[in-house]
Structures are given as structure tokens and as C-alpha cells.
Structure 1
Amino acid sequence: MTDTLDGRHVVVTGGTGALGGAVVGKLLEQGAVCHVPNAHAAAPAHFPFPAHERVRLAHNVDLADPAKVDAFYASVTDLWASIHLAGGFTAAPVEKIEPASFAEMMDTNARTTFLCCRAAIRSMLESSVSGRIVNVTARAGLDLRRGSGMVAYGASKAAVAAMTVAMAEELKGKGILVNAVAPSTLDTPATRADMPAADFSKWVSLEAAAEAIAYLASPANLAMSGTLVPLYGRA
């Protein structure tokens, strides 16, 4: 195969979200076949590629359930790259965080990333593929002095960063490159609605984030592994 994504099979978790749609679109432009697990029985109405010939939607996939994650990855043939965008955000003062809320944040961000990385790496090792793993941590996961209310979210994203570096080190002799991007505020419709008075020009565009993720997942990335790429825009 060439050093492009043409014809290569790529998993994109969280692919039906705002960033996910941008990433899937970028990968399709580069010729990839995109496998998108969806937690629901049908794709959301805003997903722009429900009938694209190179998009494979899989429904009712709970990414926190190891059996469902393993079954989903087993259905993907010739896996080249796995991109893990699925996650969530919550903010609260530490004294108000309930244990269940903390556990939910760890499940949503760290556990899903671990389970998908594990399944993808198993597939790549079994197929002797020099593949690519791309995770999403966050600025709050690298800089834990980003303000109040970030204990649960920051801890979950710091775990993603730590796993990324540890996996890259473990796999460096096996040809699988593992990296993560660390966005600051992404310019999405939901974020604009939440912060209408903010200066949107300082935020990271979905196009810019998708471009960075697609590069890390591509065969053109020959050497970057264990890297936590800051996507901070002008914030």
C-alpha cells in the first residue's frame, strides 16, 4: 500500500460528534474507510455521512463494555489506525463531586480509551500491522493548574496522557505508533452556545484539530510516537 490513507481501515470512536464528524470528513477526503461505533440504535440526525460508501456505522456499541468493544474491533478487517475521540466533560468544585460522578468521568474518558486501545493493539499485533493509535487528552490533563472545577475531568484526561506515553514506550519495537492530541477549547456550536461572550477566534477550529489527528493516524507519520500534541490555538 502507499503512504496515504487510501483504502486503509480506520476506527473513529466519537465519530458522530462535532470533532468526530470533522475527523471522519478529513479521513474520507484522504481515501480512508471509516468504522464508527455509535452508542445508540441509529446515527444522530446531525451526522453528515450516514450513507457514505466508505463509512461503516456500528450501532449499540457501549465503549465502556469490554465485551462490546472487543466484538466491534473483531468486526473490523485490516485495521490500520484507531482514533479515540469519545469522551465527556464535567466541571464541579471538588467538595461537590460525588464518587459516582468521578467514576463516570473516568469511565467516559479513561476507561473507553484503554479498552479501545487494547482491542486495536491486539488486532494490529495479530495482523503484524505497523498501525497508528491516536488518543485525545486535553490541555486540562497536561496543565492541572487550569482553574477550578477540573479535578475529575483533569484526572481522567491525565490518565489518557499517561496511557498514551506508556503504550508508545511499550510498543516502540513493534511498529505501532501511539500519540495523543491535547486540545484547549474547541470551536463547536455547543461550546459557542455555552460561552456566547467568548472570543471564538482564540479557540481551536475543528478543521485544525482534524488535520492534526489525521496526520498522526496516517502512514506519513513515520516517527512520532509518545507525543502529546498541544492544540491550544491562541488561548
Structure 2
Amino acid sequence: MTETLQGRHIVVTGGTGALGGAVVGKLLDEGAICHVPNAHATAPAHFPFAMHDRVMLAHNVDLSDPAKVEAFYSQVPGLWGSIHLAGGFAMAPVEKIESASFAEMMDTNARTAFLCCRAAIRSMLASDTAGRIVNIAARAALEPRKGAGAVAYAASKAAVAAMTVAMAEELKHKGILVNAVAPSILDTPTNRSDMPDADFTKWVSLEAAAEAIAYLASPANQAMSGTLVPLYGRA
């Protein structure tokens, strides 16, 4: 990268998860200071960066609560970037999806992304920072047929994709670049456990996904905005 993230403050929601850990690790390698909201009272045991001097963990942050989201972002100094990996996944035949389950997917994926984008944008506009926002959509958001069997999930990720493009258009004269990645299946321990007979070599590695996300969040990205980046690997 011609410009680095050295000393820049970046929020990573979902930062204690499998992809989040890879992204935080990549950002730390680039010199960033990572602010990671955590829904629980303590850091998960598997999170390797809990004691890192450039990782600021904030506990008991409910990303579906507007007040808590705003309070979290208000304590991040000089926000440069905000990466939104928090979310969930659910599968069910469409005739068995309850209204509450559909609402949960929309809250977990679309609502949290919106609230975090809004808080980040407010911070960047207040400080006149031409920062970066990166969301996570899904292949099913770009190719809805891939959402068969997971209609609520596909709809929630399609909402994230639409918000990303709309926000990018709205903010293009402010210098704030808004993008999203749209992975197919990520090579995580959970996915390997759930699909033991799959060909893992076709999946997207966490390192490759983290590399793409870090670029979109970096000052080296000077022109990409409103882009939904397919991360399909060999799938």
C-alpha cells in the first residue's frame, strides 16, 4: 500500500469472530488502532488480541441498540474507518420461517449495519474526515438464487448491499468511501465442521477476505465507492 493505516482508528464490529480476528490481525499489521465492540461482559477466550496495546475492546455493546451504538462511536477518537462484520446466518424453508425469525435476521444483519454506518458517518462528518466504511453482504445478496433455503438471510444481506450503494452515492461529495464485500463460503472452523464433505479448497480463506477488507478501509483506496466486491474463491 502506498499509504498505510499507521495510527488510524478503525472500528471492527464482529471483531472477535473468525473473520473479525483475521481482519483485526491484518489491520494491526498495517499499524491501525482497532476498536472492537463486544456484546458480552468479557472477551471470548478464543480472541487472540484481547491484551494487544492497539486493540480497544468495549464490552456489553448491543449493536441493535441505537443509544449504545452512538455511545460506543462517541468514544472513538479521530475515527478513520468502520468495518461492519457483525451478523448472523439462518437457514429454513420459506414456509417454516416465522415472522420473528425474519425480523431477527433483519435486525442482526441489516439494522446493525445501518446503525453502525450512521454513527460512523456522523463522526466522520463532524470531524471533516474523508474516511472509509466497509460492510459485509453475501453472495446471496448479489445472486438471490443462491439464497434458496435461506430467504430471510438473503433478504437481510440484500438490504446491506442496497444501503452500501445508496450511502456511497449520498456521501460521494463528502469524500467518505462506502463499499461492501460479498463472500460466498468462508473457510472457517465452523463451516468445516458443518460441511465436512465439502471441498475446502474452493472456499475463500480468511486471510484473503481480510486482505480485501483492509484495502477497502485504507487510504490507498482512493476511488472505489459503492462497490460490492464478490469474494467467491473457486466456488
TM-score where L is the length of structure 1 = 0.99
Q: How does 1:73-222 map to 2 (within 5 A)?
A: 73-146=73-146, 148-222=148-222
Question: What amino acid is the match of 1:55?
Answer: V
Q: Residues of 2 paired with 1:79 and 1:115: CA distance?
A: 16
Q: Residues of 2 paired with 1:103 and 1:48: CA distance?
A: 32
CA drift of 1:147 comes to 5.2
When the two chains are superposed, the root-mean-square deviation of aligned CA atoms in Å is: 0.7
What CA deviation, in whole Å up to 9, does each residue of 1:175-202 have, x standing for no partner? Answer: 0000000000000000000000000000
Give 5+ residue unaligned stretches, structure 2: none
Q: SS where residue 27 of structure 1 aligns? A: helix
Q: How does 1:10-89 map to 2 (within 5 A)?
A: 10-89=10-89
CA drift of 1:4 comes to 1.1
Q: SS where residue 179 of structure 1 aligns? A: strand
Q: SS where residue 60 of structure 2 aligns? A: coil
Q: Residues of 2 paired with 1:4 and 1:47: CA distance?
A: 24
Q: Residues of 1 paired with 2:206 and 2:223: CA distance?
A: 25
CA drift of 1:141 comes to 1.0
Question: What amino acid is the match of 2:220?
Answer: A
Q: SS where residue 145 of structure 1 aligns? A: helix
CA drift of 1:148 comes to 2.5
Q: SS where residue 49 of structure 2 aligns? A: coil
Q: SS where residue 220 of structure 2 aligns? A: coil
Q: SS where residue 145 of structure 2 aligns? A: coil
Question: What amino acid is the match of 2:190?
Answer: A
CA drift of 1:22 comes to 0.1
Q: Residues of 1 paired with 2:146 and 2:14: CA distance?
A: 25
Q: SS where residue 27 of structure 2 aligns? A: helix
Deviates more, 1:145-154 or 1:178-187: 145-154
What CA deviation, in whole Å up to 9, does each residue of 1:82-105 have, x standing for no partner? Answer: 000000000101100000000000
Q: SS where residue 118 of structure 2 aligns? A: helix
TM-score where L is the length of structure 2 = 0.99
Aligned length: 234
Give 5+ residue unaligned stretches, structure 1: none
Q: SS where residue 133 of structure 2 aligns? A: strand
CA drift of 1:40 comes to 0.2
Task: Give the percent of matched residue pairs that are identical in Structure 1 and Structure 2.
Answer: 82
Q: Residues of 1 paired with 2:229 and 2:86: CA distance?
A: 18
